[in-house]
Amino acid sequence: MKSVSVAGATVALGKMPWAPLRAAETTAGAAPTPSWVDKPMRWAQLTLVEDDPGKFDLQFWLDYFKRTRSDAVCLSAGGCVAYYPTKVPFHHRSAWLGGRDVFGDLVAGCRKLGMVVIARTDPHATYDEAQAAHPDWIAVDAAGKPRRHWASPEMWVTCGLGPYNFEFMTDVHKEIMSRYRVDAIFINRWDGSGMCYCEDCQKNFQTASGHKLPRNSDPEDPARRAYILWRQQRLFDLWRLWDSEVRKINPDSCVIPNTGGGATSALDMQRIGGLAPTLIADRQARRGLAAPWLNGKNGKEFRATMGRKPIVGIFSVGVEEPYRWKDSVQNEAEIRLWVADGVANDLRPWFTKFSGVLHDERWLKPVEDLYRRYARWEKYLRNERPLARVGLVYSQQTAWFYGGRAEDHALGWYQALIEARVPFEMVHDRLLDQARVSAFKTLILPNIAALSESQCAQLRAFVERGGGLIATYETSLYDEWGVKRKDFGLADLLGVAFKGGITGPMQNSYLRLESDPATGRRHPLLAGLEDASRIINGVRCVEVQITRPFPNPPLTLIPSYPDLPMEQVYPRVLKTDVPEVYLRESGAGRVAYFPWDIDRTFWEVLSVDHLKLLRNAVAWATNEPPPVSVTGPGVLDVTLWRQKDSLTVHLVNLTNPMMMKGPVRELIPIGEQKVRVRLPDGARAKKVRLLAAEKSPRAERSGQYLSVTVPSILDHEVVAIDL
């Protein structure tokens, strides 16, 4: 881990001339993993509100933790409000605390249940008293004014990068660890609340970077680029400080700052992967147009840099929309589907409830049922590794420095791979070394625009070793700082050169499906489109010219023609020789390059023809039988796992009229699915179970493959094969 982390740091800071930042990077080093980290499989969280002490029923919660078989708990301790008799000056005790130690009582009760216990703090807001004594603790807006809290205007927003966190919160964390020797401290909203222009931030940023704090969000502004890195540096310094201070008191503990995510998250996941012994994904439910597989995506993104370290997924029992109905309760079916997709993707579930006093009890039974189910399944949920052969690359540097709607390309691929029922993992672009990617046969680059020379070299080596590579749109056209290149970094691999422009947005443009004139046959990329002569094009296309022959391209351009008035809607050009996909074999490896935004357009338009192209591109590039195939109606998230003595196929039934916009009203069972799975070399299946149906299906063996019929799936079925 250490060498990976240090090597990655070189990539991270490459040519940027900030000696102070680079020096701080080299202090990276992972502390030992606390002994408890891999134990808990089912987490509970009780977030107290200020008036809970003396009002909420402590025994009720202990009983509920027991009934749900929760084996770990996160309890509110301090920060914004202290729930124990703190001695740290300006650490605000709950006005309802009196002489009680509510946190201490909860800790004692949970310990009696044998639970792992971690304390929650939240440093993001404070009171007038603190502000008056320490104005330097308070965040300052761009106009130079100290910031009142947006939701609780009697409070102040604190600066995340200055003495409030580095000094005051360090004292709070030390006090909590000294008094209670908890297993860890989980810190919520610790990374500031937007840009802060306080004196500390101004001075520290200028010293580190030579720039003034940026006042725009343009990633091409050198000050903004420097800020993106400097802010991370401060936060990683803060993380290490808190971690080392609590470990001095309890060496078997750690801090778990609430952080992490995918391409658009602000802190470098690769460095987090080196630093954190475990990590909590905090995406609590769907909102807006979120897809139900988004929870599984959290799991894949975290695992890409956390490897085998346990990862946990927080789910809310309430509605998670911008209007923040924090005391609401979500529909049972929606909770079940959301959690199932996380569990199928190796997130250990963590339910969160705000307020010890319940205003709506409808969630209690569904969560209890889910947790008892997962307790029964525990042996089969202790995954050792995924068996997926396809990796979908994500790139924080592309999101930070190239910007744009980079994520939409990945979301299109994600949806396509779900619909194609291809088990896949996500891969962090800073972890493309042979050891990390050797499990994969194919890597997909969904407009991974910003890539360094060394990342391109790693991808080249992957293909040389026989890997498949699929790239779209502007992949590798920018360096790791988002600076445009004259030509693709991967020009040799793609077989094309950049001609200098982008076409689009294209209206009314098409793709002609071609046959090989010698044989009359079509390329396997066009499978399922036998009855079509042309299909719709995308929206934007990179102009390229070939640097090697591409005989008989399967897709060629039919250029845009007028879409109004209707009398003018006829193609001016029926056929061109402009390829719209570049397929080549390179040794044992295969490369497919779509110069247009097929994945982004798919996410926007969801054309089934584009889906077929995406699915076929994966099959062609991968060029081996899939490790599992699942045949039957509906939309399923299919994941494939190896445990110590077993193998599992998870089938999460996403088939629902509310799939693309929740919440689902009800779970709707889908019909028969035929599952065909490859067993490890030389392995025999000793026993096969359907864990949800609680049945032993008939299993047929044919060579290395085992076939099982699953009669029906409500929300989540697991085919568990003892080896």
Instruction: State the residues that interact with Zn ion by CB under 5 A.
Output: 159, 162, 196, 198, 201
Pairwise CA distance, residues 211 & 222, whole Å: 8
Shortest approach of Zn ion to residue 229 CB, angstroms?
17
Give whichever of 237 and 604 is closer to Zn ion, judged by the CB atom: 237
Residue closer to Zn ion by CB (options 197, 315) is: 197
CA distances from 187 to 74, 174, 232, 450 (A): 10, 13, 16, 32
The residue among 139 and 718 lying less far from Zn ion, judged by its C-beta, is 139
Nearer to Zn ion, 51 or 141 (CB): 141
Q: How far is the CB of 401 from Zn ion (least distance, A)?
A: 24
Please say which residue, 123 or 553, places its beta carbon nearer to Zn ion.
123
> How many Å apart are CA 389 and CA 391, to the nearest integer?
7
Q: CA–CA distance from 475 to each of 225, 459, 584, 599, 668 (Å)? A: 20, 12, 17, 12, 40
> At closest approach, how far in Å is the CB of 23 from Zn ion?
22
* Nearest-approach distance from CB 352 to Zn ion, in angstroms: 28
Q: How far is the CB of 304 from Zn ion (least distance, A)?
A: 31
Residue 544 has φ and ψ, to the nearest 5°, of -135, 160
How far, in Å, are 102, 631, 649 from residue 337 at the CA level? Answer: 34, 21, 17
Is the backbone peptide bond immediately before 517 cis, with ω within 30 degrees of 0?
no
For the beta sheet containing 705-710, the strands, ordered from the edge strand earlier in sequence to the opposite edge, are 628-631, 673-678, 705-710, 699-702
Using the minimum distance from each CB to Zn ion, give the nearer residue, 138 or 340. Answer: 138
Name the nearest CA neighbour of 313 among 240, 374, 266, 357: 374
User: What is the nearest approach in angstroms of Zn ion to the Cβ of residue 188?
Assistant: 19
Nearest approach, Cβ of residue 136 and Zn ion (Å): 8
CB-wise, 137 or 462, nearer to Zn ion? 137
Q: Is residue 157 within 8 Å of 148, Cβ to Cβ?
A: yes
Do 498 and 542 touch, CB atoms closer than 8 A? yes
- Residue 694 CA to residue 373 CA, distance in Å, equals 11
Beta carbon of residue 33, minimum distance to Zn ion (angstroms, whole number): 33
Residue 122 gets the label, from left (phi > 0), alpha (psi -120 to 50) or beta, of beta
Q: Which of 10, 108, 101 lies closest to 48, judged by CA?
A: 101
Query: Smaller CB distance to Zn ion: residue 196 or 329?
Result: 196
Least distance between Zn ion and beta carbon 175 (Å): 24
Q: Rounded to the nearest whole angstrom, what is the least distance from the CB of residue 164 to Zn ion in the complex?
A: 9
Nearer to Zn ion, 77 or 201 (CB): 201
Q: Give the alpha-carbon dihedral of 24, 26, 27, 30, to 10 degrees.
A: 130
According to DSSP, residue 10 is labeled: H
Q: Which is nearer to Zn ion, 214 or 262 (CB)?
A: 214
Rounded Cα distance, 612 and 583, in Å: 16
